[in-house]
């Protein structure tokens, strides 16, 4: 199993997952579809018929999608270390995006009306590196995450040697 590799002296300061609503919302919707499929759309008929086969197939497909959504939510993480912001994504195949704190040029938070009500939003990090703008969608309290990142950037800048004038 591939594990997040840290640099020497690098420490994870915070770890974030997307807001729980990004898991519960789709799962609840799929459960409603499943309930409708079993109660209203396909009334139970005796014996193993084509309708029964379709019902079982749709049920298994919906359960599969629910499992994939759950695993995708579980394995979607944002790490803040003392040197980088790392985005980890993937269930079997993993994807890591690493942004150096000293190369971050801009941090932007966006909260929808629903996001303001439930405490989640999107964080966009603009980097001077090859990634450009990297979106982190659906994370809880993105203003706090933005503040944590800005604190780490300031700590890192305070440690850099200052150029003396002249």
pLDDT digits (tens, 9 = 90+) for 124-147: 999 876 767 888 888 999 999 999
How far is the C-alpha of 58 from the C-alpha of 134, rounded, in Å?
A: 36
Nearest Cα residue to 109 out of 152, 148, 142 = 142
Taking the model in full, what pTM does it have?
0.74
pLDDT digits (tens, 9 = 90+) for 38-87: 776 555 555 567 777 777 888 888 888 888 888 888 888 899 999 999 98
Hey, which CATH number is domain 79-158, 1.10.540, 2.30.29, 2.40.128, 3.55.50?
2.30.29
């Amino acid at each position: 199993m591939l594990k997040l590799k840290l640099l020497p002296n690098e420490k994870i300061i915070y770890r974030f997952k997307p807001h729980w609503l990004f898991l519960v919302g789709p799962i609840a919707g799929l459960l409603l579809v499943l309930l409708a499929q079993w109660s209203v759309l396909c009334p139970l008929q005796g014996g193993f018929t084509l309708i029964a086969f379709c019902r079982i197939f749709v049920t298994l497909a919906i359960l599969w999608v629910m499992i994939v959504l759950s695993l995708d939510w579980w394995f979607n993480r944002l790490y803040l270390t003392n040197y980088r912001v790392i985005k980890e994504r993937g269930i079997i195949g993993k994807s890591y995006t690493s942004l150096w704190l000293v190369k971050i040029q801009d941090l932007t938070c966006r909260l929808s009306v629903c996001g303001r009500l439930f405490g989640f939003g999107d964080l966009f990090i603009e980097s001077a590196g090859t990634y450009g703008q990297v979106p982190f969608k659906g994370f809880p309290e993105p203003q706090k995450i933005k503040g944590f990142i800005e604190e780490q950037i300031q700590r890192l800048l305070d440690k850099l040697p200052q150029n003396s004038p002249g």
